[in-house]
Homo-oligomer: A and B are copies of this chain.
C-alpha cells in the first residue's frame, strides 16, 4: 500500500472530471471525486440513503411529481402543436414551471432526509458496536487518544476470522510465501522507499495556540459550508468553490496557503490566524538502540519488509517466477486529525501481497477460473465521461485491455470473491480504476476495491501493478541487485542493441548523478533504446526519465552509442514487476459491520431489535447454548453440548441466566451469532437460525456436527433444513 506523490501542476483532466462528477450532478447516486484513502485523499460522504431508511413517501411523491411534469410537458407540446391561444400556452407553461419548483423542493427534502437517515443509521450502528464492545476508543479511562481503537471480544473475533480466511483464500490457495517482519524500521529503508521525503500531509498551525490542522481539511470544510449554508453566494462563486473542492488533492502548499489567505480562513476553535501550510511527515518516529544516533520509524505499510527480502524469497522459491509473498501486520500513520472512526486511524492492520512477475509475461495460469465473474467496474473512461460503474465480466475487461493484464485481473477477481464471501454486499462493491493523475508515474495500472458505506465509497483494497519501481529503488540504495534471471536451456544468438554510455560526457553533464544516468541507460529495454536511437539520430538529443532520480534528464547524441550486434546470450537478467493487492483490514471490517447491520421489530412490536447478519465464516461466536429454564438437568445437557462444541473447535457461549429466551435471542442476534441452541428437553434440542428465525429439532449428540457442517461452509442452512424437520415454534418462543 503506497502513498502517491502529489502530481503538480493541477491537471486539466481533474478539472474536467470535477465538472462531470460534482456532488450535485446526480441526486440519488452521485459520483464522487475519487476517494482514495490509502493514497491519503479525503473521504467524501455519500448521499445515498442507508437501507431501511423511511424516505419512501418522499420518493413516491417525487416519482409522482416527475410523472406529472412529464404529462404537463406533453400537454404544453400539444397546445403548441395545435396552435392553441398564447394565454393557454402561457398558463400551461407557468403550471409546468410551478411543478418543476415543487420537484426541486422535493429533491432537497429527499437529500436532507437521506443525510438524516444516513446519520441515524450510522449512529444506531456505532452505538451498538461500542456498547457490545466490537470496538471502542483506546485508553478510554484516560480520555482516549484520537485515532486509536481497541477491538473488544466480538470485534477481535471478527478480525481474527477475517484474517484466518484471508490466509486460507490467498496464502494457502495460491501457495504464497508469508513473512512476518518487524514494525520498527530503520530510516535507510524508508528513505529508499521515498517515505521519509514524501509521506506527508500539509499542515497549518494556529499561530497563538499551536494547535495543528490539516490544511486541505480546513479549505474543504470552508468550501462545503459556504456551498451548503450561504444562500447569498453568486453562481460564479459557487462554481469557483466547487472547482477548489475538485482540485483539493492537487494543490501545492503555496496554492493551499493562498486560498486560505484569500478566503480568510482562521483556526476553527479560536479564530486565530493560521501559519502557512507546511509538510508534516506522517510516520511515527523513534530511535533504535541507546545511542540516539539511529533514527527509525514505525512502518507505514508492510510492503517494504517483503521488497528488502526479495532475493532470499526468490531463492526460496527455487529462483523461479512468478511467486507471491504476503504479510499481515500492524502499520502506523501519525494522522494530523484522525476522523471517521475505524476508517482513518493512527494504527491499523494491513494484509499485503507482493506478486512478482516477469514484466514480459503477466499471464496467469488460473485466470480462467475467475474470468467469468461479473461485478461492478468503474474504468477510467467511465469516470471521465460521467457514467456510473457497470457490471462487467472480468475476462472481458482484460480481453479488451481495460484491465492491464491477466495477473492484475486475476487478483481483482480473487478480491471480489474474498470480500463477498465475507459478507460485503456485491451491489455496494465496485472496482474503480485510478485516473491517470492519481497513479504514480511508474504504475502500469491500478484499481481500488471500493465499498459503499455511510461515509460514501471507501477504498478498502488497492490492487496496483507497480512495475519494477520498488525493487529498483532498493537495489539502488542498498547496492544489492534485486533481480531475476531467466536461464536459457542453450545459449541464444540474439541481435541485440548494445548500449554503450560515454562516461566522460555523462560525467561532465550530470556530475554526481552520472552513475544513475549511466545505469538507467544500460538497463533500458529494447523498445525504449530503439526509440532513443532513432530520436538521437533525428534530433540530436532526447528527454529521458530516470526512475531513481524521479525526473527527466536531457541525453545528447555524444553521451551514448546504441548499436545492433549479434551476441550469444545464456540468460536474461531483469527486475521483476510487482503486482500488489493491499488490504486495509479495519476498513473492510467496518464496511462489513455496516452491510451486516439491520433492525427488526420485536415480537411485541414495541421496539426495534438490532441484528448483524454475519455469515458463519466471520461471526464472532458461532453458536449460543441456552437452557430454556434454570434447571439442573437442562444445564447438564447444555454443558454436554458445550463440551462437544469445544472439541469441534466451535466458538460458543452458554447463557444460563433466567432471562426470557426471547431476550437471550435478541442479545445474541446483536452479536451476529448465527445459531442458538435451546435446551428444552433431556435428549433433543432446538437450533434456531438468526435471520430466518427457523428452528429445527436435533438430537443433542448431533448438535456439534450440524453446527460445524454449516459454519465450516460444507452445508448451507437450506441443506440442513432438508435433513431436519422444521420445529413449529411453541414452547420456545421469540420475544
The reply on A212 being an interface residue by CB < 8 A is: yes
A-B contact pairs, 17 of them (CB 8 A): A136-B312, A139-B188, A141-B308, A141-B311, A142-B308, A148-B184, A151-B180, A152-B179, A152-B316, A156-B178, A182-B346, A184-B284, A212-B289, A285-B287, A287-B334, A288-B334, A288-B346
In chain A between 85 and 127, which residues have their CB closer than 8 angstroms to a CB of chain B?
none
Using a Cβ–Cβ cut-off of 8 Å, how many residues does chain A contribute to the interface with B? 81
Beta-carbon contact of A286 and B285 below 8 Å: yes
Chain B residues, CB < 8 A from A15 = none
B212, A291: Cβ atoms closer than 8 Å: yes
User: Which of B153, B185, B186, B290 is the one whose CB lies under 8 Å from A334?
Assistant: B290
A657 to B320, CA, bound (A): 12
Which residue of the partner chain, among B159, B173, B296, B336, contacts A180 with CB atoms under 8 Å? Answer: B159
Contacts A141-B311, A657-B318 given; does A178 touch B157 at CB 8 Å: yes
Stretch at the interface among A73-81, A254-262, A646-654: A646-654
Given the complex of chains A and B, what is the CA–CA distance between A424 and B298 in angstroms?
A: 34
CA of A290 to CA of B141 in the docked complex: distance in angstroms?
Answer: 23
- CA separation between A149 and B309, bound complex, in Å? 12
**B residues near A347, Cβ cutoff 8 Å:** 182-184
B289 touches A148 (CB 8 A): no
Note all chain B residues with C-beta closer than 8 A to A186. 139, 142, 145
Asked if A474 is at the interface (CB within 8 A of a chain B CB), the reply is yes
A138-B182, A141-B480 as given contacts; A177 in contact with B189, CB under 8 Å: no
Q: How far is the CB of A173 from chain B (nearest CB, A)?
A: 6
* 8 closest cross-chain pairs (CB), A and B: A212-B290, A151-B180, A141-B478, A141-B480, A153-B177, A182-B347, A156-B180, A284-B286
Determine whether A399 belongs to the interface, using a CB cutoff of 8 Å to chain B: no
CA distance A155 to B309 in the complex (A): 14
What's the nearest-Cβ distance from chain B to residue A659, in Å? 10
Task: Flag whether A60 is at the interface (Cβ < 8 A).
Answer: no
Query: Is B189 in contact with A139, judged by CB distance below 8 angstroms?
Result: yes
Determine if A523 is an interface residue (Cβ-Cβ < 8 Å).
no
Contact A179 B151 (CB under 8 A): yes
Q: Does A264 contact B (CB under 8 A)?
A: no
Q: Does A150 contact B (CB under 8 A)?
A: yes
A363 contacts chain B at the CB level, 8 A cutoff: no
Chain B minimum-CB-distance residue to A214 = B290
Q: Could you mark each residue 174-199 of chain A with 1 if its beta carbon is under 8 Å from any beta carbon of chain B, else 0?
A: 01011111111110110000000000
A608 interfacial by beta-carbon distance below 8 Å: no
CB <8 Å contact, B334 and A289: yes
Q: Is A140 an interface residue (CB 8 A)?
A: yes
Contact of A298 among B157, B184, B316, B482 (CB under 8 A): B184
User: Does chain B have a CB within 8 A of A456?
Assistant: no
Complex Cα distance, B286 from A332, in Å, reads 12
Q: Give A56 Cβ to nearest chain B Cβ, in Å.
A: 37
Interface centre among A139, A146, A172, A474 (most CB of B within 10 A): A139
B residues near A545, Cβ cutoff 8 Å: none
Q: Are A286 and B298 in contact (CB under 8 A)?
A: yes
Asked if A571 CB lies within 8 Å of chain B CBs, one says: no
Contact present for A280 and B286 (CB under 8 Å) = no
The answer to whether A446 has its CB under 8 Å from any CB of chain B is no
Given A172-B649, A289-B334, A291-B212, the answer on whether A156 and B179 have CB atoms closer than 8 Å is yes
- Across-interface contacts of A145 in B (CB, < 8 A): 184, 186, 288, 294, 296
| Chain B residues within an 8 Å CB radius of A501 | none
Residues of chain B contacted by A728 (CB below 8 angstroms): none
Q: Does B291 lie within 8 Å of A210, measured CB to CB?
A: yes
Say whether A203 faces chain B, with CB atoms less than 8 Å apart.
yes
* Complex interface: chain B residues within 8 A of A183 (CB): 183, 298, 330, 332, 347
The B-contacting residues of A in range 620-659, CB under 8 angstroms, are 646, 649, 651, 653, 657
Query: Cβ of A702 < 8 Å from any Cβ of B?
Result: no
Q: Is the pair B286, A150 in contact by a Cβ cutoff of 8 Å?
A: no
Chain B residues with Cβ below 8 Å from A172 are 646, 649, 651
A141-B311, A172-B646, A286-B286 given; name 5 further pairs at CB < 8 Å.
Answer: A139-B308, A142-B186, A142-B189, A183-B330, A286-B298
Most buried by B among A159, A160, A185, A480: A160
How distant is the Cα of A184 from the Cα of B298 in the complex, in angstroms? 10
> Contact: A291 with B211, CB < 8 Å?
yes
Which partner residue on chain B sits nearest A281 by CB separation? B290
Q: Is A133 an interface residue (CB 8 A)?
A: yes
Query: Is the CB of A313 closer than 8 A to any CB of chain B?
Result: yes
User: Shortest beta-carbon distance, A704 to chain B, in Å?
Assistant: 13
Interface: A708 (CB within 8 A): no
Q: Whole-angstrom distance from the CB of A344 to the nearest CB of chain B?
A: 13
In chain B, what residue has the closest Cβ to A307?
B141
Among residues of B, the one whose C-beta sits closest to the C-beta of A285 is B286
Question: Is there a chain B Cβ closer than 8 Å to A168's Cβ?
Answer: yes
Q: Which residue of B lies closest to A304 (CB)?
A: B139
A379 to chain B, nearest CB (A): 32
Pick the contact of A173: B133, B177, B646 (CB < 8 A). B646
A176 closest partner in B (C-beta): B153
A65 within 8 A of B: no
Would you call A305 an interface residue if the criterion is a C-beta within 8 Å of the partner chain's C-beta atoms?
A: yes
Q: A167 at interface (Cβ–Cβ under 8 A)?
A: yes
* Residue of chain B at shortest CB distance from A310: B141
Q: Which residues of B contact A336 (CB under 8 A)?
A: 289-290
